[in-house]
Amino acid sequence: MSAATPVRVRFAPSPTGMFHVGGARSALYNWAVARQSGGVFVLRVEDTDAARNKPEWTDGIINALAAIGIHQDDPTFEGPYFQSHNAERHREAAAQLRASGHAYYCDCTREQLTARTGSEHLGYDGFCRDRGLTYAEGRALRFRTPDEGETVVKDVVRGDTVFPNKAIEDFVIARGDGSAVFLLANVVDDLDEKITEVIRGEEHLSNTPKQQLLWEALGATPPVWAHLSVIVNEKRQKLSKRRDKVALEDYLAEGFLPEAMVNYLMLLGWAPGEDEEILPFEELVRRFRIEDVNTSPAFFDIKKLTAFNGEYIRALSPEQFLAACAPYLTAPYANWTPEQFDQALFETVAPLAQTRLAVLSEITANVDFLFLDQPVEDEASWSKAMKPGADAILRDARSAYETAEWAAEPLKETLLAIGEQHGLKLGKAQAPVRVAVTGRTVGLPLFESLEALGRDRVLARLDAAIAKL
């Protein structure tokens, strides 16, 4: 490709389900190439599978892309493009290939082919190549693959891959009703949208020699190819929506920040160097080189993603953190009513929560004790904390807290002294108090929580726990 040729990349998802994180990575790599080259990112929705496509899936893809900062930016078309809108051009291209001798009609059935070859698994045998059939309803249009030579796919990620032409069957490019199949529609759309680089998952590599032959038969120069490695789970199995959490929307809804998702997905198969990982997208784009992408399967490590997200949460300003938590402080996440929620009280403990959250949705369980009339009963926490002697700790704490100075440090010193009287370190002494007041063995710092909750509510909860014991 000439240095003067403007770079145009595309992302072309099919709206057949929620937005896969693997698709998000492909979109980000395309976006990065466009941004660093001053090129154009084209969003095309490949919506020709009417039986499986749904408008809500299309909306979900567009919204998920927008959440991670990606959108159609072709100045010649507001977009996104829809493959179904280009059906007439697909038919024209099929007719052009037929007229130029690059394609022919075929009326063979699968049963006939099996009878001729003796196998259900062999490719098409070229039976109709020279029969001179004309168009009739039900006759497919097949591409006439060259008998000799080879097709070399020059891939900037994988290097050159050689496909002997004799191993490529005469593949169908238009169905019996005249509509184009994916292979042809994809090529025609890329041609019309002037795509110069195709960056996509390696599952498309097997289609690439056929598509390259179509580009050449239509009199065009094929784009630069780049096929990205598969993404695998901890068992090194390809991520699957049937067994793995793969939808970008689900991660965002759970409280993974878009910036953290972008940062992590960019590193699935590529590294920015200098032993750095957590970087702003602008810096990742500056360093990104598609030719440096690894060909090995990329491990989607949820633990690492969660650690990334925690770092991004802690980097938020107080105002940003409050805004990010807001969706998780109301239904369906929150188990308190709007009347019970106290924004000012939440803001007093928000800085404590910000240092502990891994995902934003965890905020609900961390602060619910502040807004509920009684803490959530967690039997496992109760059993763990309320060991023999816990009632004595609770009684002494209840008595001391009735007159103690109501601030975190004095409350801590008071319970420390009570623990020493019972031969317990602070960690053991505070366990029954924490469960009595918050309902759980883990959460925000205890003494700051007591201070925020207030003397009367703390004493009432200690009384309730003592009565239960």
Q: Do 107 and 128 contact (CB within 8 A), yes or no?
A: yes
Please report, rounded to a whole number, the percentage of residues in the chain having pLDDT higher than 90: 91
Tokens 């959440």 belong to which residue?
67
Average pLDDT over residues 370-391: 93
Query: In angstroms, rounded to a whole number, what is the distance separating the alpha carbons of residues 325 and 362?
Result: 9
Q: Express each pLDDT in 55-66 by its tens digit.
A: 899 999 999 999
Amino acid 52: pLDDT: 83
Specify the fold of 248-313. Answer: Glutamyl-tRNA Synthetase; domain 2 (1.10.1160)
Report domain extents, the chain. Answer: 248-313, 316-468
Average pLDDT over residues 277-289: 96
Provide the pairing of β-strand 224-228 with 197-201. Answer: parallel
Average pLDDT, the chain: 95
Asked if pLDDT for residue 139 goes beyond 60, the answer is yes
| 380 Cβ contact partners less than 8 Å away, ≥ 6 residues apart | none
| 124 Cβ contact partners less than 8 Å away, ≥ 6 residues apart | 106, 108, 113, 142, 169, 170, 171
For residue 119, name the pLDDT band (cuts at 50, 70, 90). confident
Catalytic residue among 238, 241, 245, 387: 241
Conformational region of residue 243, where left means phi above 0, alpha means psi within -120 to 50, and beta covers everything else:
alpha
Range name among 117-131, 272-286, 297-311 with the lowest pLDDT average: 117-131
Q: Express each pLDDT in 345-357 by its tens digit.
A: 999 999 999 999 9
Amino acid 325: pLDDT: 98
Amino acid 1: pLDDT: 43
Asked if pLDDT for residue 3 goes beyond 60, the answer is no
Q: Express each pLDDT in 153-194 by its tens digit.
A: 999 999 999 999 999 999 999 999 999 999 999 999 999 999
Q: Express each pLDDT in 194-243 by its tens digit.
A: 999 999 999 999 999 999 999 999 999 999 999 999 999 999 999 988 89
Question: What's the 3-state SS for the chain?
Answer: CCCCCCCEEEECCCCCCCCEHHHHHHHHHHHHHHHHHCCEEEEEECCCCCCCCCHHHHHHHHHHHHHCCCCCCCCCCCCCEEHHHHHHHHHHHHHHHHHCCCEEEECCCHHHHHHHHCCCCCCCCCCCCCCCCCCCCCCEEEECCCCCCEEEEEECCCEEEEEEHHHCCCCEEECCCCCECHHHHHHHHHHHCCCCEEEEEHHHHHHHHHHHHHHHHCCCCCCEEEEECCEECCCCCECCCCCCCCEHHHHHHHCCCHHHHHHHHHCCCCCCCCCCCCCCHHHHHHHCCHHHCCCCCEECCHHHHHHHHHHHHHCCCHHHHHHHHHHHHCCCCCCCCCCCCCHHHHHHHHHHHHCCCCCHHHHHHHHHHHHCCCCCCCHHHHHHHCCCCHHHHHHHHHHHHCCCCCCHHHHHHHHHHHHHHCCCCHHHHHHHHHHHHHCCCCCCCHHHHHHHHCHHHHHHHHHHHHHHC
Amino acid 120: pLDDT: 79
Q: Which residue has the higher pLDDT, 16 or 370?
A: 370
Amino acid 2: pLDDT: 44
As its CATH architecture, domain 316-468 has Orthogonal Bundle (1.10)
* 238 labeled part of a ligand binding site: no
Q: Comparing 248-313 with 316-468, is the CATH topology the same?
A: no
| 23 Cβ contact partners less than 8 Å away, ≥ 6 residues apart | 11, 13, 61, 248
Amino acid 4: pLDDT: 61
Asked if pLDDT for residue 374 goes beyond 60, the answer is yes
Residue whose C-alpha is closest to residue 382's, from 298, 328, 463, 440: 440
Asked if pLDDT for residue 327 goes beyond 90, the answer is yes
Asked if pLDDT for residue 397 goes beyond 90, the answer is yes
Backbone Cα Rg of the chain = 31
Query: In angstroms, rounded to a whole number, what is the distance separating the alpha carbons of residues 149 and 183?
Result: 21
For residue 456, name the pLDDT band (cuts at 50, 70, 90). very high
Burial of 238-257, coded b for 16+ CB within 10 Å and e otherwise, reads ebeeeebebbbeebbeebbb
* Biggest CA-to-CA distance, the chain: 101
* 425 labeled part of a ligand binding site: no
Amino acid 76: pLDDT: 87
Tokens of 156: 């900037």
* 412 labeled part of a ligand binding site: no
Strand order across the beta sheet in which 40-45 lies: 81-82, 40-45, 8-11, 197-201, 224-228, 150-155, 159-164
Query: In angstroms, rounded to a whole number, what is the distance separating the alpha carbons of residues 459 and 461?
Result: 5
Task: Please say if 241 is a catalytic residue.
Answer: yes
Asked if pLDDT for residue 433 goes beyond 70, the answer is yes
* 325 labeled part of a ligand binding site: no
* 108 labeled part of a ligand binding site: yes
